[in-house]
């Protein structure tokens, strides 16, 4: 009963420059750890092979060190790894793949499919029909030749490709490389292992996208998984098991605050997130001065707890209540300034007035605290 692990879209060498240096480095390291996790899962589930459906590397120009580290990370599983190039690491005449070979970095059990064709894994009883990308974009279906490929009798036919299943994926799919939606049936495939869509997605009972094993974008698309595929015999419907592999969870929230309960619910949601969270938060609406103080304290705690937290608050207006103003004990000229800044915010988003009011309120609170000591 052949069994294999299906993965794709490792994007090794990807940089996370929009994050703080420490966070970006941790996100990069997690991608190497994901490969080690794949090797461990392949062993734990007694897999015969690991199939990687393209975009192992994020670009042709990744460093030699990255190349060596990628293949070092595969050593935990000594069975065959079969890898095809995707649109990010296409099999050009001179490519990251040929450089890896020149470096002597590729273990003997790792097989590159740099040309279309069939890789027969004799010991495992599997035929891998490969459709590597030899350029970044193609406009014909590279899996069409699968129908003409002959395979040994009794070997399950497993397709390995990278591209967009026509008419079934969102418009933001990375590449233009088309794949017929009925490819598995038309080419007598027992399973079609796909890459390019970074989330786990079933197309039909024999066709799946595994998604990337470690999330790297703020998309709710079921990223961070690998698939264990059981094929009991040629022609049988495969059993596909989804396993989590991702270390970090990415969350992108767009919240509008209007009343106190909105803020309370937001902070409750933040508290439920694990330490592995990568959070991109954008706030709009309005908040009282007391609410702003509560929010800033909560964000400070969350920044230290999560892997990364970025919060955009420029669209969040300060709306001091009479109680807020009274608590500041701002009288005389200072009281007039507070009221003026308050009025400048009404009816129009004035970032300068908002920031000035927040700073002044903070200074007044500090003065009050010092006076009480």
Q: What is the tens place of the pLDDT at every residue in 82-122?
A: 999 999 999 999 999 999 999 999 999 999 999 999 999 99
Structural domain ending residue among the three candidates 191, 222, 244: 244
Do 230 and 301 share a domain, yes or no? no
Do 212 and 10 touch, CB atoms closer than 8 A? Answer: yes
Q: What is the pLDDT of residue 118?
A: 98
Do 51 and 158 touch, CB atoms closer than 8 A? Answer: yes
CA angle in degrees (0–180, nearest 5) for 203-207-212 = 85
pLDDT higher at 164 or 370: 164
SS (H, E, C) the chain: CCEEEEECCCCECCCCCCCCHHHHHHHHHHHHHHHHHHHHHHHHCCCCEEEECCCCECCCCCCHHHHHHHHHHHHHCCCCEEECCCCCCCCCCCCHHHHHHHHCCCCCCEEECCCCEEEEECCCCEEEEEECCCCCCCCCCCCHHHHHCCCCCCCCEEEEEECEECCCCCCCCCCCCEECCCHHHHCCCCEEEEECCCCCEEEECCEEECCCCCCCCCCCCCCCEEEEEECCCCCCCCEEEEEECCCCEEEEEEEEECCHHHHHHHHHHHHHCCCCEEEEEEEEEEECHHHHHHHHHHHHHHHHHCCEEEEEEEEEEECCCHHHHHHHCCCHHHHHHHHHHHHHHCCCCCHHHHHHHHHHHHHHHHHHHHHCC
Residue 333: is its pLDDT beyond 60? Answer: no
Q: What is the pLDDT of residue 174?
A: 46
Do 235 and 267 share a domain, yes or no? no
Do 111 and 61 share a domain, yes or no? yes
Residue 328: is its pLDDT beyond 90? Answer: no
Structural domain ending residue among the three candidates 212, 244, 276: 244
Number of C-beta neighbours around residue 213 at 10 A: 28
Confidence of residue 366 (pLDDT cuts 50, 70, 90): low
Distance CA 319, CA 292 (A): 9
Q: What is the reported pTM?
A: 0.87
Mean pLDDT of 216-242: 93
Do 63 and 18 touch, CB atoms closer than 8 A? Answer: no
Parent domain of 11: 3-244
How far is the CA of 330 from the CAs of 322, 326, 342, 363, in angstroms? Answer: 12, 7, 13, 11
Do 232 and 267 share a domain, yes or no? no
Q: What is the pLDDT of residue 367?
A: 57
Do 358 and 266 share a domain, yes or no? yes
Structural domain ending residue among the three candidates 199, 228, 244: 244
Confidence of residue 362 (pLDDT cuts 50, 70, 90): low
Do 187 and 277 share a domain, yes or no? no
Do 168 and 211 share a domain, yes or no? yes
- Which CATH number belongs to the domain containing residue 82 in this structure? 3.60.21.10
* Total structural domains within the chain: 2
Do 300 and 223 share a domain, yes or no? no
Do 34 and 129 share a domain, yes or no? yes
CA angle in degrees (0–180, nearest 5) for 247-252-257 = 140
Residue count of the chain: 373
Do 254 and 109 share a domain, yes or no? no
Q: What is the pLDDT of residue 176?
A: 76
Do 183 and 143 touch, CB atoms closer than 8 A? Answer: yes
Do 23 and 134 share a domain, yes or no? yes
Do 78 and 196 share a domain, yes or no? yes
Q: What is the pLDDT of residue 288?
A: 85
């Amino acid at each position: 009963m052949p069994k294999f692990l299906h993965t794709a879209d490792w994007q090794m060498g990807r940089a996370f420059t929009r994050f703080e240096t420490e966070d970006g480095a941790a996100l990069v390291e997690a991608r190497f750890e994901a490969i080690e996790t794949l090797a461990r899962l392949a062993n734990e589930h007694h897999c015969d092979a690991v199939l990687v459906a393209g975009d192992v590397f994020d670009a042709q120009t990744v460093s030699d060190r990255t190349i060596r580290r990628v293949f070092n990370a595969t050593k935990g599983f000594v069975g065959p790894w079969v890898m095809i190039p995707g649109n990010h690491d296409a099999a050009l005449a001179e490519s990251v793949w040929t450089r890896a070979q020149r470096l002597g970095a590729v273990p003997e059990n790792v097989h590159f499919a740099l040309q279309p064709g069939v890789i027969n894994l004799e010991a495992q009883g599997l035929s891998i029909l490969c459709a590597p990308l030899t350029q970044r974009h193609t406009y014909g279906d590279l899996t069409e030749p699968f129908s003409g490929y002959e395979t040994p009798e009794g070997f399950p036919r497993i397709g390995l490709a990278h591209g967009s299943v026509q008419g079934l994926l969102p418009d933001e799919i990375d590449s233009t490389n088309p794949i017929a939606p009925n490819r598995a049936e038309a080419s007598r495939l027992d399973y079609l292992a796909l890459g390019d869509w970074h989330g786990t997605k079933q197309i039909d009972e024999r066709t799946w996208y595994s998604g990337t094993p470690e999330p790297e974008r703020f998309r709710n698309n079921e990223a961070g998984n690998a698939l264990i595929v059981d094929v009991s015999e040629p022609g049988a419907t495969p059993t596909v098991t989804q396993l989590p592999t991702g270390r970090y969870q990415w969350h992108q929230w767009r919240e509008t605050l209007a009343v106190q309960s909105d803020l309370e619910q937001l902070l409750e949601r933040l508290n439920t997130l694990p330490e592995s969270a990568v959070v991109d938060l954008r706030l709009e609406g309005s908040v009282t001065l007391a609410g702003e103080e509560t929010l800033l304290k909560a964000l400070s705690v969350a920044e230290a707890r999560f892997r990364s937290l970025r919060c955009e608050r420029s669209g969040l207006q300060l709306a001091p209540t009479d109680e807020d103003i009274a608590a500041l004990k701002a009288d005389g000229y200072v009281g007039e300034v507070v009221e003026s800044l308050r009025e400048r915010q009404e009816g129009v988003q004035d970032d300068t007035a908002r920031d000035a009011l927040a700073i002044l309120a903070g200074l007044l609170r500090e003065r009050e605290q010092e006076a009480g000591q």
